[in-house]
Amino acid sequence: MPLLFMNQVTSFFNPKDRISAEMSSLTLPFDVWREVIQHLPLHALLSICLVNKIFYFYAQPFIFEHFVVRPKGQLKTLAASFRKSLEFLQSPRIAWAVRHFHVDLSAFPHTKMVQSASDIVLGEFADCASAFPNLRRFTFVSVYINLPVLSKLQRLLVPFTLALKSCIFASELTKTNLDIPINDLRFTDSSPFMEYATPRRRYPELFLRTEHLKSIVAGKEYAETALIEMADSIRPFTRLTHLEFPTESCCSSHLIAVLSLCPNLEVLKFNGRVASHSHLHDSHTRFPATFLPKLTSFTGPLVFVNHLFLSNQLSPRHDLRSITICLSSNFSLHASDRSDCIEGDLFGTLNLLPDTITTLNFVALPLLGPEGLLTQIQGATLKHLGVNCDPHYYVQCLRPDQFVKCLRESRDKIPDTLEELTIGIQIKDPFKCKKKELMVKQEAEILSETSFGTIPNLRTLKVWYWAKPAPRWVTWGKQVNGRIDAFWQRP
């Protein structure tokens, strides 16, 4: 009989400090499993599996992949319990499996307590970081970062990922010239409930000085400072391939200078609320003719896409494969106002898209009539099309009957190469809808309009139901025998 399996198991080495290690499955020899079991306390063994209020212990082999530290107790017991956990993880059978070190000190209400806890946790871990050969990712939440800690991280020979959130930086960091081997830098916004405890500090420039950077993800609080620092850089960012900023960064006067320093950039994303159309138009009157020559994926507002392609009419973008266009700034799940709608000429942009596009997504598109979007889409290589299917961008969508009518009107216009269609539909909660027969009929009509004969190469139809109280996905996938099965999946 197959053993039950749990993707993540949390063991509490100390109930007061709650220092946990999240585990994932891996087949190991039984003697290794037996050695791991001997180190676990009783309450950790009992917390492995709880099914129907009955405790089961099963010998499913596992490894420690994510080492998560979330202390909630007193500082007096933190050092001893954390040192004990490190000794356990440093055993040769387990240390090779640790890949992610996550520290969350948001439970401490005062800056001095955060500083003391950071000195204990980061100081102890930095001394033994070399014992974990596969460690590739650090996540610091509400952590005090000083020069001694970064000096020890500099000794790591392999580039790693660094994610920072609500952190406090020592003042001496801005005067150092450390070259920390960071290849993926993620600096997200502070949590609202932590702003009173962790004062905002200037973005430390030393993280942007490293020559190993391949990816940068910046939140709204630090995006402008990061752009200024990158624009003042003497050397280009030749290794940078992924850049992700909030949409407000499109209005920055430093953006063009920064992107010009990234000749090998492949992925460019602008996430969040769409900025003002007039500001975007004024700040980006003209792009260089050879702007971002290796760009393969873009996510951002429509106006930015217009400028991007208008500047490259003489040299078409043959490497661009994926585009996600956001057209509205309406985020409310309960709003139905369509006043803040399409920015720019959507259909004109579609005519500028190269034939090499394989993935095209439209976010927050307010209108989709029969003579609208589906009839204008062209592309000999288009395989994935998505409309209003992002859970974070709500907009008033079509009803099921309107969507069926739209499919019928645009049947001859949809590219034959389309393999996956993802679309958002306005509907009541299907599990609480009183007219179940109507739901079944509408779904049958949708399936009939996307049959084998209509779109010959279509393999998957994903429908995002904007339903109350909780939106849901429903996915239809084509089987070998021609049947189309549906299954519900929560987002």
- The reply to whether 335 and 433 lie within a common domain is yes
Q: Which domain holds residue 341?
A: 330-491
**Max intra-chain CA distance, the chain:** 72
Residue 87: per-residue pLDDT = 86
Where a domain ends, among 289, 320, 351?
320
pLDDT average, residue stretch 329-347: 44
> Does one domain contain both 397 and 469?
yes
Indicate if 263 and 411 belong to the same structural domain: no
Residue at a domain's end among 320, 345, 378: 320
Whether 86 is in a domain gets the answer no
- Residue 397: what pLDDT? 73
Average pLDDT along the chain: 69
Residues 461, 352, single domain; the answer is yes
Angstrom distance (rounded) from CA 31 to CA 175 = 51
Question: Does residue 31 contact residue 48 with C-beta atoms inside 8 Å?
Answer: no
| pLDDT for res 157 | 66
Is residue 3's pLDDT more than 50?
no
Higher local confidence (pLDDT), 194 or 286: 286
Both 274 and 372 in one domain: the answer is no
- My answer on whether 372 and 478 are in the same domain is yes
Q: How far is CA 309 from CA 241, 312, 344, in A?
A: 20, 5, 13
Establish whether the linkage from the previous residue to 469 is cis, with ω within 30° of 0: yes
Q: Is the pLDDT of residue 186 over 60?
A: yes
Q: What is the mean pLDDT of residues 406-435?
A: 71
Domain boundary among 293, 320, 347: 320
Residue 276 and residue 355 in one domain? no
In sequence order, the 6+-apart residues with CB closer than 8 A to the CB of 382 are 357, 358, 359, 360, 415, 417, 418
Same domain, 373 and 455: yes
Tens digits of residue pLDDT in 276-297 = 554 554 444 456 666 788 889 9
Q: Which H/E stretch holds residue 471?
A: none
Domain presence at residue 184: no
347 with 471, same domain?
yes
Domain membership of residue 302 (yes or no) is yes
Residues 397 and 284 in one domain: no
Q: Is residue 438 part of a domain?
A: yes
Domain annotation covers residue 79: no
pLDDT more than 70, % of the chain: 60
With respect to residue 265, please indicate whether it lies within any of the assigned structural domains: yes
Residues 303 and 334 in one domain: no
The mean pLDDT of 255-265, rounded to a whole number, is 89
Contact 477, 459 (CB under 8 A): yes
Q: Is residue 90 part of a domain?
A: no
Confidence of residue 456 (pLDDT cuts 50, 70, 90): confident
Residue 415, in any domain of the structure: yes
Number of domains in the chain: 2
Angle subtended at Cα 99 by Cα 96 and Cα 104, rounded to the nearest 5 degrees: 130
> Do 316 and 339 fall into the same domain?
no
pLDDT in tens, 122-168: 888 888 888 888 888 999 988 888 888 788 777 776 788 988 888 88
Instruction: Read off the pLDDT of residues 217-226 as tens digits, 9 standing for 90 and up.
Output: 988 878 888 8
At 437 the pLDDT is 59
Q: Which two tokens stand for residue 391?
A: 């859970």
